[in-house]
Chains A and B, each alone.
Chain A
Amino acid sequence: MIRAAAGLPWGPMARMAGRRLLAAVPVLAAVTFGVFAVAAASPFDPARAYAGSAGLGARQDVLDQLRDNLGADRPFTARWWDWLTSALTGDLGTSAALRQPVAQVIGERIGWSVLLCGIAFALAVTAGTVLGVLAARRRGGLFDRAVTSLAYALEAAPPFWLGLLAIWLFSLKLGALPAGGLTDTGSDVATPGQVASHVVLPAAVLAVSQLPWFVLYVRQGVGDALEEDPVRGARARGLRERTVLLGHALRSGLLPVLTLIGSRVPELITGALLVETVFSWPGIASATVEAATKVDFPLLAALTVLATAAVLVGNLLSDLLYGLADPRVGFDG
């Protein structure tokens, strides 16, 4: 294991990561700028949003005072620059909807989202590989057609709909699993046992929503690999079908899939936005939806930028894995 790690091209990989980090700075700056520009172009009023329902009956001079205090009348470029400079010092503003500093919201919630997405992703990769290999073994066969059709249907199904049906079946009809939240009602402390039972359903639904892509790509990769010369050679040498399938076809067919995993981050975030909301999971994605429904600009802006950063990290991971899997590609990008 240590020798394998030592054999990796750490230097080129680090240089690539550094280049990408530099390239990410203008992207993130542009995204924050765009966020402020869109907000400035929209009918959104920071003073009214800050005041909330109290602002509905407020006198105009009070609102003007508030607007002045918030600096809402200054051009959006100036507000953007202020936000950016204070964000670099760790101050992301205050969330009006959750009455907390934005940085604290992120810190408290991001762990739960990472837990949920990590479990779901691992489940999706495992189940997708198994189903994809079994389907690729006999392309056009009954099992293959069943799996492929199911994959297309699941790809078309909205995750929130799957989540609601899962709640109906597993929580209401079977009574096997809790319907949402992080802990049982009436309990404030998140014990590992409670979290484990509460994470099953949302993680499974999120995994199912990511599954079709993995199944179809593994099936394609392994199926194509089964047509290639090394597999024909292995069969000609009289190796067992199992060895051919798992040792040869799976290994070469899975590589392109593994390298694409990083590029699935946007879809994972999309799924998490819906699944966390359905299951009232106290993660960062459900906070995003809450920020949106309550028009909480500071929180929504920070979370949008955070999601963009996650996508960029995913892309970098994907390219690093690609370079590792296929040395001809290298780390020049």
Chain B
Amino acid sequence: MSTNGHIEKKRLENPPKSFKLKIQRRANENAPAVWETFELPYRRNLNVISALMDVRKDPVTVEGKQTTPPVWDMSCLEQVCGICTMVIDGRVRQSCSALIDDLLLASGSDTISLQPMSKFPNVRDLKVDRSKMFDHLKQVHAWIELDGSYDLGPGPHISNEVAQERYAYSRCMTCGCCLEACPQYGDDNYIGPQAIAQARLFNMHPTGKTNIDERLSGLMGDEGITNCGNAQNCVEVCPMSIPLPKAIYETNRDITVNALFGWLSK
């Protein structure tokens, strides 16, 4: 997202009276995927979530068939919790920040397609189970080891520069966009960008550095960092603009340095 310079937002010049949501449905993980299309009255400032809420109130398809309400995850609706991620018009993103206006404008079509993410078990309709992302965080030891949670005074001095760089990584909301877009992720041979960036986040911290070996060794095995193909799709789809390739590059460098010094010290 642009953070500098003034962007003038484009708006639909001749807004339509209605638009369509084409939703990929699945009754459960083992059921076949089917498409259903719903027509909705157009209103300015609608996002995909409010459109889905409209459908849920009275789920009748364009063919006039009464159907079950679509199921999807949502929570904060401010693009900070990550839960409402889905594939919208072929692109993975959060549905709360996907505005109907922008989507219709970009596609030139009157129909918006919604699909669940494909790299995770599909629970039902647009809902997926991303729990393995949290397992990846365990694998890379994504926390700082404290002596205890009692009062031991402030943490180490850190320059604002380092704090800002860490902040960028720390905004990762485990939404899974980077994994969905990554051509290598999915066959269990690659941990994916999110966990690598979190390892980087803690390796950059003066206290976190203490456990750098554990983090790196978590990335050196089969389901580690090695199979990154450098496609850089991850950074393209990251809603938080996290510099994921940089994290991967620097972590790879740390692994090399670590291996070298590890070898020298033997």
- Tell me whether A and B are bound partners: no
Binding site for B on A (CB under 8 A): none
